[in-house]
Amino acid sequence: MIKKLLIANRGEIAVRVIRACRELGIATVAVYSDVDRTAMHVRVADEAYHIGEAPPRLSYLSISRLVEVAVRTGADAVHPGYGFLAENPLFAQACQEAGLIFVGPDYHTIRLLGDKVEARRFMRDAGIPIVPGSDEHPGGSLEEAAEHLGYPLLIKAAAGGGGKGMRLVRRLEELGPALEVAQREAATAFGDDTVYLERIVRDARHIEFQILGDGYGNVIHLGDRECSIQRRHQKVIEETPSRALSEEQRREMGEVALRAARAAHYRSAGTVEFLVDAAGAFYFLEVNPRLQVEHPVSEMVTGVDIVKEQLRIAAGRKLRYRQEDIQPRGWSIECRILAEDPYSNFAPSTGRITGVYEPAGPGIRVESGVYDGFEVTPYYDSLIAKVIVWGETRGDAILRMLRALDEFRISGIKTNIPFCQQLFGSASFIGGQFDTTYLEQRFSLSTEHRREQELTAALAAAYVEHAKRGRHLSRPLDREVDRAAWRLVARREAMGD
């Protein structure tokens, strides 16, 4: 088994991996940039080392520095998390050449599947239907490919995902400027500015299947995930199972996902992603050869700890599960908590967090990388926490999520919590009537609750000020008493007291 692991990432995913290691008895090494010196993942790891300045290219994207720290600290393995270098084959190769175990697919597989263009060609050759794209017109320019594909279309980064390096192009005159922006963003996020074009599938649902392979020919999937609630091509809400699929569709798509994984001799955790059109036809979109942000929902319904399985597979062990062992139960939903102001066109919100009060109770899981006093900076992704809930039915899960979001308090910065509360209460979401364009074309953020949110912010500031004066500091926080105090201050604020 792995004895010491370096986590080549930051934030909530680094904390998630560290917790799995602690349960397995694996020592952990964190890395941090100048602005992450006091970050939570640094605090909870066994060791932590500085790797550079705040910009990712000078720290979390520096392969040489990461490998050097891993070797110097005596780590025998590296976990890339997601984002940054997780899909970079050069990083996996550098780890292998340095005698380190890379917790993920080998670099040949990452090169094949992590490059979205190569993955599409591979799947097309394997007889799996793909969304039409520029790679089907080799030898020509992207401008010529766009003419063949027609508008609207998407520009996508070949080396990564997560909405980075992605732009919607509606007409010819938008193509040039959009290409320039997408390439620059892809280079910053992944160290590779290669992009390609993909035709828009109208009224599409974004459905993915979580896979696990052990390198010995054993491959399973953990069911589907619905990822259609997206804003600016970035997932916001994920759930499992998808309400859009019939059991026959779910079975067929699961078999195709396994076929794709076997064809690539897949090892470790990964995700096979599809678009499903209004008629129910599905198309291969991409394979993400890494852990996904939304992996917890699959864990909640199957009971499989995906990160632990990654670590066991990386250590050379065979899968402990067969496909028939995977019997999903209930419904799980994840909500991404972002440091953004939903009332100001989702502008990034930075600054010092002055209070964090996380939801708790049956069926609720919070994965977070922040704490009271944490400084949210403009250098990294706006994701600061995730709320994951489980319920026996989808309705139960939605109600539980609404309760969790109502309990979640973050003061000092703006977050998308009020946006998510309205989304979960919308008739279209509750009825499952949405596609990948729903948020940007049919959902409107109401301002009727804005005054309530402003009162809550004032209340939070008042609560923090009370705490600074020594109140409540001599005992653990009593959630019910505290919430009563929040309501009392809000009531006084509303009455002008």
Per-residue pLDDT averaged across 215-222, rounded?
Answer: 96
Burial letters 314-338, b for 16+ CB under 10 A, else e: bbeeebebeeeebebebbbbbbbbb
| pLDDT at residue 377, as a whole number | 97
The answer to whether the predicted template modeling score (pTM) of the entire model surpasses 0.95 is: no
Per-residue pLDDT averaged across 471-487, rounded?
Answer: 42
| pLDDT at residue 125, as a whole number | 87
> How many angstroms separate the CA atoms of 6 and 18, rounded?
9
CATH number for the domain formed by residue range(s) 4-103: 3.40.50.20
> How many angstroms separate the CA atoms of 192 and 280, rounded?
34
pLDDT tens for 79-120 read 999 999 999 999 999 999 999 999 999 999 999 887 888 888
Question: Residue 234's closest CA among 156, 301, 169?
Answer: 156
Question: By the 8 A CB rule, do 459 and 493 touch?
Answer: yes
Is the pLDDT score of 484 beyond 50?
no
Q: Where are the domains of the chain?
A: 4-103, 132-199, 205-441, 450-495
* 205-441 CATH, one of 3.30.470.20, 3.75.10.10, 3.40.50.1820, 3.90.600.10: 3.30.470.20
Residue % of the chain over a pLDDT of 90: 74
Within 356-412, where are the H helices? 394-407
Per-residue pLDDT averaged across 160-180, rounded?
Answer: 88
Question: By the 8 A CB rule, do 422 and 446 touch?
Answer: yes
Per-residue pLDDT averaged across 474-495, rounded?
Answer: 40
Per-residue pLDDT averaged across 377-390, rounded?
Answer: 97
> How many angstroms separate the CA atoms of 110 and 98, rounded?
18
| pLDDT at residue 190, as a whole number | 83
| pLDDT at residue 448, as a whole number | 55
Question: By the 8 A CB rule, do 437 and 206 touch?
Answer: no
Is the pLDDT score of 319 beyond 60?
yes
pLDDT tens for 133-169 read 888 777 778 888 898 899 999 999 988 776 788 998 9
| pLDDT at residue 449, as a whole number | 55
Per-residue pLDDT averaged across 314-324, rounded?
Answer: 97
**Nearest-10 Cα torsion for 180, 186, 187, 188:** 110
> How many angstroms separate the CA atoms of 375 and 350, rounded?
7
Domains 4-103 and 205-441 share a fold: no
Per-residue pLDDT averaged across 219-229, rounded?
Answer: 98
The type of residue at 331 is W
Superfamily (CATH) of domain 132-199: ATP-grasp fold, A domain (3.30.1490.20)
Position 456 confidence tier, pLDDT thresholds 50, 70, 90: low
Is the pLDDT score of 490 beyond 60?
no
Catalytic residue among 290, 336, 365, 400: 290
| pLDDT at residue 113, as a whole number | 87
Which of 32-36, 101-105, 462-466 has the weakest average pLDDT? Answer: 462-466
Tokens standing for 260? 């794709």
| pLDDT at residue 426, as a whole number | 94
Task: Clarify whether 290 is annotated catalytic.
Answer: yes
pLDDT tens for 187-203 read 888 888 989 999 888 89
> How many angstroms separate the CA atoms of 178 and 169, rounded?
7
277: which residues sit within 8 A by CB, 6+ positions away? 201, 202, 203, 204, 283
Per-residue pLDDT averaged across 421-448, rounded?
Answer: 90
Is the pLDDT score of 459 beyond 90?
no
Which of 121-125, 157-161, 244-248, 265-269 has the weakest average pLDDT? Answer: 157-161
Residue % of the chain over a pLDDT of 70: 90
Tokens standing for 381? 């992704």
Q: To the nearest whole number, what is the mean pLDDT of the chain?
A: 90
Question: Residue 388's closest CA among 406, 420, 365?
Answer: 365
- CB neighbourhood size of 351 (10 A): 13
Does the CA dihedral 52-53-54-55 come out positive or negative? negative
| pLDDT at residue 153, as a whole number | 93
Greater model confidence, 77 or 457: 77
Per-residue pLDDT averaged across 396-411, rounded?
Answer: 97
> How many angstroms separate the CA atoms of 73 and 321, rounded?
34
| pLDDT at residue 158, as a whole number | 87
Question: Residue 6's closest CA among 72, 59, 61, 52?
Answer: 72
